[in-house]
Structure 1
Amino acid sequence: MGITLTITDMAGVVVGQLYPSKDKPKYYLGNAWALGTLVVAIILFTLVNRVYKRRNAQKNSGQSRLGEEWDDRAEDFIYLT
């Protein structure tokens, strides 16, 4: 919970720089920044999703090296994709 509050507080500081009142009413800089971070988030989500699917496939085929009992590499651990 603490990290969420920290990130939102930092966003509050940055938003004043991204949406200056002189850019009213279109706010090109702020909207471009929001769109850019959204695109980066989608790319990273897709990458992580593919990695998890590949790891699940390796576990199902028996090709993965098994980790500790409580590790995410354990035989019975499944990544949710």
Structure 2
Amino acid sequence: MTTSVASLKIVLDDVEPTVQAGYQDFLEGLADPQYDRHDELIEWWGSDQFDPNHIDKPAIEQALRALAKKLTRKTRTKA
């Protein structure tokens, strides 16, 4: 099955508002202790602190290397 760039853009356009709403929900939930999912979001995130302007490049690179290692196909050996 071939996916065209146009059809991929259509899918991304459909998904983007949902992602944006979820991100906004995340920000509001962490910031407001009275928010109904505040404790759940803190547990999931691991902290009540989030700075959208802070990028931990070494942590991202490490996570990507670990993911790439996990997803890399292993070569088969003939028995």
TM-score range, shorter-chain basis?
A: 0.3 to 0.5
Relative contact order: is structure 1 or structure 2 higher (C-alpha 8 Å, sep ≥ 6)?
1
**TM-score w.r.t. length of structure 2:** 0.45
* TM-score normalised per structure 1: 0.44
Q: Which of 1 and 2 has greater Rg?
A: 1
